[in-house]
Amino acid sequence: LDVAKIAKVSKSTVSRALSGQGRIGRQTKNKIIELTKKINFIPSANARRMRCKFNELIGVIIKDFCNPFYMEFLKLLEEKTYRRGFTILTVASNDDIEKEKNLMQLMARHEVGWLITIPHGSLFRELIKYSSMMNIIVLNSLVTSKKFITVCIDNEKAFEDGVEYIYKSGYKLPSLALSSPVIDISEARIRGFLNGVKKYYNQKFDFIKNNLVFKTEGEGKNGGIEIIKKELYKKTDCIFAVNDITAIGIIEECNRKKISIPEKFGLLGFDNVPSAEYVSPKLSSIGQPLDEMTDYILKIICNEEKKSKIFSTQIINRETMVLF
């Protein structure tokens, strides 16, 4: 909607009223502000960039403040963007799709110059809608469009590569450990695991799904703990956890029950969170290059890069995997 046309003033007058800069009568300013509230007006990203100049506000929507992977990502991003004069506004959706929608609207209302998000796949239309109001960087390879930039890893390929590593390490029957909730990124990792086991172990999909994918009700560590309590580990000689938090839950419960890793079974995590190096035994994991990814995100924000990029992962072998 054209606020200037409705208010019967010039566009520059509207700009001065909303930015608080320049000379404008109090009555006219109040009239314009009340009108924008009435029609639910959200200023364009271009207008914001003109007002905010270089010191822009960056909005970040993550899944969970308790996840050490997201905390490490935020730490690196905040350090790098702050040095370049940016401010970060971070919120968490807690895997609630309706809340995530509301948070996107909140970011638009807060006039962020950039939104960095790990959206649920079903929110594709919401992202397209808001792409005209703010610049968007997506950290999910399953959600792509010319309307925004994608910076992420290929979760499906990373898990297939993980199965290849397990196979070449000499393990005979790997399994996949899932914790709740199973989000769309988890689904991509499941597909990668299924493809890898079919390719390297010559197993049929039905057998893999019914016997080698361990689903749990517990979240995070509790999912890993549940796998050990139910003795699901006895079906396999190597567990590939959907993330490091689940794997650390497995380690902690095994330590309580005096089950030795990797003597009893191998264990491979995913994300390479900082705590992976400090548990005992130290967790072998597949790492995402967060340092490189946050460097690239900063280049995008500073208009030094404009293209989407898929980053490669790296296997970090510590103490929970052995080579036969």
Locate the domains of the chain by residue range. 3-41, 50-153, 155-288
More confident position, 54 or 312: 312
Q: How many other CB atoms are found less than 10 A from the CB of residue 131?
A: 16
Lowest-confidence segment of 44-48, 153-157, 179-183, 185-189 by average pLDDT? 44-48
* pLDDT score of 47: 52
Nearest residue to 143 (alpha-carbon basis) of 157, 130, 127:
127
Q: What is the pLDDT of residues 260-304, one digit of tens each?
A: 999 999 999 999 999 999 999 999 999 999 999 999 999 999 889
In which region does residue 18 sit, left (phi positive, over 0), alpha (psi from -120 to 50) or beta (all else)?
A: alpha
Percent share of the chain, pLDDT over 90: 61
CATH code of the domain made up of 50-153: 3.40.50.2300
The β-bridge partners of 314 are 287
Q: What is the pLDDT of residues 1-47, one digit of tens each?
A: 477 788 888 877 887 777 665 677 888 888 888 888 777 666 654 55
Superfamily of domain 155-288: Response regulator (3.40.50.2300)
Q: Which residues contact 106 (CB under 8 A, 6 or more apart)?
A: 91
Q: Which residues contact 159 (CB under 8 A, 6 or more apart)?
A: 188, 189, 190, 191, 192, 193, 196, 240, 270
Q: Which helix (H) or strand (E) holds 76?
A: helix 68-83
Q: What is the pLDDT of residues 60-92, one digit of tens each?
A: 999 889 889 999 999 999 999 998 888 999 999
Mean pLDDT of the chain: 89
* pLDDT score of 194: 96
Q: Which helix (H) or strand (E) holds 247?
A: helix 244-256
Same fold? 50-153, 155-288: yes
Model-wide pTM > 0.75: yes
Q: 186 pLDDT band (50/70/90 cuts)?
A: confident
Alpha carbon 254 to chain centroid, angstroms: 29
Check if the beta carbon of residue 108 is closer than 8 Å to that of residue 85. Answer: no
